[in-house]
Structure 1
Amino acid sequence: MSPAPTSTPAAPLRVDAHAHVYDLAHYPFHGTRGFDASDNEVGTAEQFACVLEAHGFTHGLLINPLGGYGTDNRCLLDVLERFQGRFKGVAVVAHGTAEAEFARMSAAGIVGLRFNLNFPASPALEAEGAERTLALAREQGWFAQVHYEGDTLLRALPILERAGLPIVVDHCGRPDAAAGLDQPGFRALLELGRRGNAVVKLSGAFRFGGGFPYTAADPYAEALIDAFGIHRCVWGSDWPYLRARHRVDHATLLAALHRWLPDAADRQKVLGDNPARLFGFQPLAVAVA
């Protein structure tokens, strides 16, 4: 008789904490989308999983894309069900969504909700119903994730801090690389980091750091690591790179991270330990015969 299958611990966690996936065959672009995505800007969960494996990543945090899907989270929820434990999700939630839907999304693997502060199509923090949305998210133990550019954070911060949810900031806050560290929005982001109830994604270097090797992003990444502390930094690729102005891939973005964090132990915290603690990822056991 063959021995019963056993399991062995997988490799250490390595999490891409910012990506988007699509399934246009089953979930076409939705009327609530903020903008359209081109054919070369979309990718399926299966394609993303292949990219992760090629670069030694075990898990991913998927963000429902305002570009294409808006507040339609059906594709994301379907992916979370099909890839049990491999992915977790951040939803874009319309104000007025039923309370039971929050619980259903939570059970499926949603751990946060996102606000795109510079896009009118995104549910707004100042809109009627936003306070209820934030309260329901807080009851589920979610965080509030914000994507913005420039100084938009200044108006949003008081609302977010009153809501009492942990705050996750996308793409280093997308500063203007030519404006220096003292630009008001970035200065407010550093102050938020020092207060201790927020996490920053060391992502999006290709969005504000010039072309490869993104050296214009270096002073901003270094200031954020200092202000937030290594334990409240995570990394994400932003795959499949919607609206990218240059050729982008995981390898070039990870090269920038290696420059910011030359110590391997620090990189493991940002790529594995921190997202596991903050987002609830667990190692995936590998079955062996």
Structure 2
Amino acid sequence: MTTAVNTGGLTLDGVGKRFGRGTAAVTVLDDVAFDVPEGEFVAVVGPSGSGKTTLLNTVAGFVDPDVGQILVNGTPVTGPGPSRCVVFQEYAIFPWLTVRRNIEFGMRLRARRRPAAERRRIADRYLDLMGLTAFADALPKTLSGGMRQRVALARAYAVDPEILLMDEPFAALDAQTRETMQEALLEINQKERRTVLFVTHQVEEAIFLADRVVVMSARPARVQEIVPVPWRGPRHHELKTTPEFIELRRRIEAMLRGGHPTPEGQTA
């Protein structure tokens, strides 16, 4: 079993998961080990059907691993809990609540309950950060897809989790809105730094958003390589057109197709 070093934040230590029994059993995750230090943004990419969402669900505590363990700041994950908050692909906001009340919702729950005045102050902050102040009293049905996902992000940040888990949160958006939401996520995370595990099928998105990219193999999913992203500080979409960005994207895409890039970036 491969062992990840626990540095605080999130640690996956030799995680394995199988579904089914006997000859029908399918191994989805096999000895997955990596860590996400506190405050780091790590993206996970892999071939379609490789188990990326299963991996995220084990971290969330929705699915128990068969072997290995998951730690949040050194504490084993044994189920869902307030230390982690999930942002889903679909807009998991309540259609009968206003934008403000959606953002406040998590802060009303027993595990995270805050006084009314504090809830309002925190909601006001995230309404402002996400450009939603003018829509505070609107219902979700009156908002675009991008605006609804802004609400979901604001609600996730507002409950102040130790780990933010994002399962392809922009996949349902059109290309232009997706780019806008990527920049919005970068902006809010620079101001409100959180530990983030972000699953996506888009290599370009992973590189643009993350500090490191975990490249998974086809099923059964293993960690092929963990690729550091060299850019720090504010990022803008012009970065995606630079030769360095294009080369890094090409190398990771080659890994996903089954190639093995050499140190010079040439695919063997």
TM over 0.5: no
Give the TM interval when normalised to the shorter protein.
0.3 to 0.5
Return the structure number with greater strand share: 2
